[in-house]
Amino acid sequence: MKCVGIVGIGTCLPSNVVANRDLEEIMETTDEWIRSRTGIEERRIASDDIDTSDMAIVAAKNALLNADMDASDIDLILVATATPDYVFPSVACMVQEGLGIPNVPAMDLSAACSGFVYAVVTGKQFIDSNTYKNVLVIGSEKFSKIIDWNDRNTSVLFGDGAGAVILSEVSEGKGILAFEIGADGTGAKHLLVDNKTNFVTMNGREVFKFAVRQMPETSLSVIEKAGLTAEDVDFLVPHQANIRIIDTARARLGLEKDKVSTTVTNHGNTSAASIPLALFSEIENGKIHDGDVIVLVGFGGGLTWGSICLRW
Ligand code: ACO
């Protein structure tokens, strides 16, 4: 089997920062409540004229620059999103037009906050099977458009943004070592977008219980599948939903705090965009080194989960 890895990464964050204090002005909440329950201090909220595809295109262009590739090198576009511009066309088709690469296949993938991991795993299959060489995988969300700003239980949690990676064949021993994806539809009712209101509704406690069980479990499982142990892990990039959930996974893996990404503080929960946004931040911070063993792990609506163990 081929070694498939990330050869380029790029992001897009809207410029508008909304701090917890700003939310205190519009709803009955406090900076202290949000910080202590979630770890979130601020999030980015896109303006009305920016949609999911706009952020996806910017992130994709940045990833191409980072990989030193032309758009014409891409032969498959996958976009993980729960907040597409339209039911159809897909965001992926809009990205294809935005990048000016006619005829390459393009599709969206729906697995809520696990979407990015699902999409990377899907892209890898096409490279493994020699069908495509360079796959553009994007997680992009304008979650703010499905938030009920009158519902303090959900509105304080989410943010907007996009992250993109390019998957290609990499040198022997590097790239994705193992992956796991899973779903439990019996938990679908706990986290969904209501058809009538088009707003997110969530049973926070049930999702919390699921996440603190599933995140460490799937992380340990993928490490084992890679033939490694938790001690071999250099850095954990978990889905950024809640610092208490991240801390539980970190403790189960026995990792020090500086080996785990916690961009939730500044981004909030950006759903399918959170893992590539976090990964990019840690690369920028100099936390990820050549040859490091990294675990990406997500969970979300569905309920779904997914993890990837890779060597950078
Ligand atoms: N400000 C102030 N008070 C609030 C707020 C707020 N923003 N939101 C809720 N409260 C109140 C509640 O009304 C409740 O009051 P009550 O006791 O009088 O009824 C109280 O705070 C405590 O609420 P809890 O639900 O017990 O708070 P908890 O400690 O469970 O934290 C939270 C809530 C943060 C939502 C937590 O349950 C959580 O993080 N769950 C997981 C959510 C998650 O990860 N979602 C993303 C999934 S990914 C995807 O696919 C989209």
Per-residue pLDDT tens over the stretch 268-285: 999 999 999 999 999 999
Mean pLDDT of 21-39: 96
Catalytic residue among 239, 242, 266, 267: 239
Mean pLDDT of 141-156: 96
| 12 is a catalytic site residue | no
The pLDDT value recorded for residue 2 is 84
Interval 61-107: pLDDT, tens:
999 999 999 999 999 999 999 999 999 999 999 999 999 999 999 99
Centre of ligand 1 to C-alpha 8, Å, is: 36
Catalytic residue among 62, 113, 242, 267: 113
pTM of the complete model: 0.96
Q: What residue owns the CA closest to ligand 1's atom 3?
A: 29
Measured distance CA(79)–CA(107) in Å, rounded: 6
Measured distance CA(22)–CA(40) in Å, rounded: 13
Residues in the chain: 312
SS3 10: strand
Probe target for ligand 1 pocket from 26, 31, 37, 245, with the most ligand atoms within 8 Å of CB: 37
Measured distance CA(257)–CA(12) in Å, rounded: 26
Alpha carbons within 13 A on the beta-carbon side of 200:
29
Question: Is the ipTM here above 0.85?
Answer: yes
The pLDDT value recorded for residue 1 is 74
